[in-house]
Amino acid sequence: MLSLLRQILHSAGFRNIRTAKNGREATGILAATKQRFSTMAGAQIDIVVGDAFMPIINGTDLLRWLRQDAASPNRFLPYILMSGEADEGLVFNCRDVGVSEILAKPFSVQSLMTKIMQVIERPRPYVLNRNFFGPDRRRLRTPLPSDAEDRRVMPKDKVRRFSSGQTNLNVLSGHTWIFDFPNTLKAKLEVSDPRQLASGVDFSAEIAKAQEALSAAEEETRQWIAGASDKLENFMHEIRGGGVTGKEAVEKLSLLARELRGHGGTFGYPLISQFARSLHIFTENITEVNSDVTDLLRAHVDVIKVVVKQDAKRENDPLATEIKSILDRAVKKYSAKHGAIAAPPSRLQTE
């Protein structure tokens, strides 16, 4: 996915792209830009795109570091979080840490570019108070019911706008500060007609080029999915062996299921995203490995393998319906004996 994103962004016209395999590597790259900021033109990062579930330091912790840590090069950096679990809990948690945009996986080139252009063309002012720092969370401007209390609005004497000469923010005395900076990112866009910067930039040509890059990588991504399917099979052999190795294999299987959950639909395999999601949720709740568990794991791996072998990309054809029914029966059989499979608690809970 990292390689594919780089190809897509490069085809869309972005030339200075830095990649990191995990959040720790990303913090190193970002911290280094702070040291070079005053001496190297163009060394700074303009936008960060992070995955919610990166190893070592995940996407939310990277965002928290960016917004709060003294080593952060720019606490106002736009941050787009990608996730295969864009449920309500994740959205609220990331919003409260200061995310700019959330991109649900599987994503399309159009949705990716739309999120990027959102932070470039329509940046939100930043808000700082005792409990929050990040882009203004009040996106909706719809009026409240007449009998509702607007708890979001502070007295005017407690809301201040930041000025360049300000040195004391008084965040502990109940004040809320609003930072509404000039839009410097939009000025960096290369457009043939400068009037587009005022009226809105048409990036349809860039989307078309990026889509071509995605299509060109189709065979490569299919091979990656096939390789992931083989890995799932190998993990099943380890799980059947039992012992410590079996438990470790379940953890590896869970991580791979999470990757497939987010990437399958992006690569044109929506069925794999669905089955991998079910597998990921199930593995997150496993407390012991027994025969019933391995049977349900086996059912998930088998249907994923069928999708890969048959190159099944359509959700509603007869083959897809048959595959879904097979997994559905396996889930019902397990649930009848052990209770319904519950969704795992969000890993993005803030303390």
Report the distance separating Cα 196 and Cα 193, nearest Å.
6
Residue with the larger pLDDT of the pair 164 and 1? 1
The alpha carbon of residue 239 and the mean position of all alpha carbons in its chain are separated, in whole angstroms, by 30
**Is pLDDT of 343 > 60?**
no
pTM of the model: 0.76
Stretch 55-82: mean pLDDT: 91
Report the distance separating Cα 119 and Cα 81, nearest Å.
12
pLDDT at 195: 66
Report the distance separating Cα 72 and Cα 66, nearest Å.
5
Strands of 101-104's sheet in order across: 48-51, 79-83, 101-104
- In this prediction, residue 211 has a pLDDT band, given cuts at 50, 70 and 90, of confident
**Is pLDDT of 13 > 70?**
yes
At 79, is the secondary structure helix, strand, or coil? Answer: strand
pLDDT at 230: 94
- In this prediction, residue 302 has a pLDDT band, given cuts at 50, 70 and 90, of very high
**Is pLDDT of 225 > 80?**
yes
Stretch 192-197: mean pLDDT: 64
Q: Which domains does the chain have, with CATH numbers?
A: 1-123 (3.40.50.2300), 124-182 (no CATH), 217-338 (1.20.120)
Could you report the per-residue pLDDT of 119-151, keeping only the tens digit for each? 998 889 999 888 889 998 877 666 666 666 656
pLDDT at 184: 84
- In this prediction, residue 266 has a pLDDT band, given cuts at 50, 70 and 90, of confident
- In this prediction, residue 344 has a pLDDT band, given cuts at 50, 70 and 90, of very low
**Highest mean pLDDT, choosing among 147-156, 168-177, 282-291:** 282-291
Stretch 52-56: mean pLDDT: 80
- In this prediction, residue 167 has a pLDDT band, given cuts at 50, 70 and 90, of low
Task: Give the number of other CB atoms < 10 A from CB of residue 87.
Answer: 12
**Is pLDDT of 347 > 50?**
no
Residue with the larger pLDDT of the pair 92 and 300? 300
